[in-house]
Amino acid sequence: MRRSGMMYVQQVAVAVGLLLFAGTGSALAQDLTEETYGPLMGEVRLLVGDVSQYIDNRYWPELGEALDKLFPEFRRMEAFWTARGNDGAVGMVGDGIAALRELGQAGIAMEVGPAQAGLTNLRAVCGSCHEAHREADGDGFKIKAGS
Ligand code: HEC
């Protein structure tokens, strides 16, 4: 099959995200506080909603762009939990990064099924960490005492 120009552009858009952020060991300086962690999570939630829509609509370049934003946000979360010495939470963030990579690979391949599987894995990570390390705080949430 002949590869169209558009398909090439789409693949490049997704691949850029993988090149920049999928590598290991690119530790970011820890910049989050307990006050800024929640707002970051709100951004993550919006982006994951976008990811879901982009998969449904097969908007592969847009999926790549959303992943380009999610990778560094997960790196910031990783740095935050690393600084707190919470190995369990760091491991869950790592599972989330693995799910983002799955999504990136599915985006490059432009395959809806594997992309949905990656999204399911990503959401499972959100749920596990909230169960373990989040608690209600009035109308909203906060980091669980001791986490
Ligand atoms: C490593 C642990 C961890 C992971 C992974 C995680 N969260 Fe969170 N999340 C938390 C904690 C802790 C809070 C409570 C902090 C707060 O709200 O101030 C929170 C709060 C939130 C909130 C509420 C923000 C607010 O306004 O208080 C949203 C929305 C959210 N997370 C979305 C997500 C989504 C979507 C994912 C997965 C893509 C995810 N989180 C993954 C730990 C995690």
Is the CB–ligand 1 distance for residue 69 below 6 Å?
Answer: no
CB 13 within 8 A of CB 115: no
CATH number for the domain spanning 125: value is 1.20.120.290
Token readout for 115 is 């992309």
Residue 91: pLDDT band with limits 50, 70, 90: very high
Query: Tell me: the pLDDT tens digits for 97-115?
Result: 999 999 999 999 999 999 9
Atom of ligand 1 nearest to the CA of 133: 12
Determine whether 119 is exposed, middle or buried from the number of CB atoms within 10 Å of its CB (0-12, 13-18, 19+): buried
Contact 90, 81 (CB under 8 A): yes
Domain of residue 37 covers 5-14+31-143
What distance in Å separates the CA atoms of residue 10 and residue 72, rounded to the nearest whole number? 21
Residue 20 has pLDDT above 70, yes or no: no
Position 119 in a domain: yes
Query: What's the number of domains the chain is made of?
Result: 1
51 in Cβ contact with 100 (< 8 Å): no
Is the per-residue pLDDT at 1 higher than 80? no
Task: Provide the mean pLDDT of the chain.
Answer: 89
Range in 1-10, 58-67, 81-90, 102-111 with the lowest mean pLDDT: 1-10
Q: What is the mean pLDDT of residues 69-73?
A: 96
Determine, yes or no, domain membership for 22: no
- pTM equals 0.87
The verdict on the CB of residue 143 being under 6 Å from ligand 1 is yes
Q: Is 38 in the pocket of ligand 1 (CB under 6 A)?
A: yes
Nearest-atom number in ligand 1 for the CA of 74 is 5
Query: Which residue's structure tokens are 């960490």?
Result: 129
Cα angle at 121 between 118 and 124, to 5 degrees? 150
- The answer to whether residue 21 is domain-embedded is no
In a domain, 68, yes or no: yes
Res. 23: pLDDT tops 50: no
pLDDT band for 30, please (50, 70, 90 cuts).
confident
| pLDDT confidence of residue 135 | 97
Residue of 134, 137, 147 to test ligand 1 pocket, by largest number of atoms within 8 Å of CB: 134
Quote the Cα angle for 45-50-56, to 5°: 130
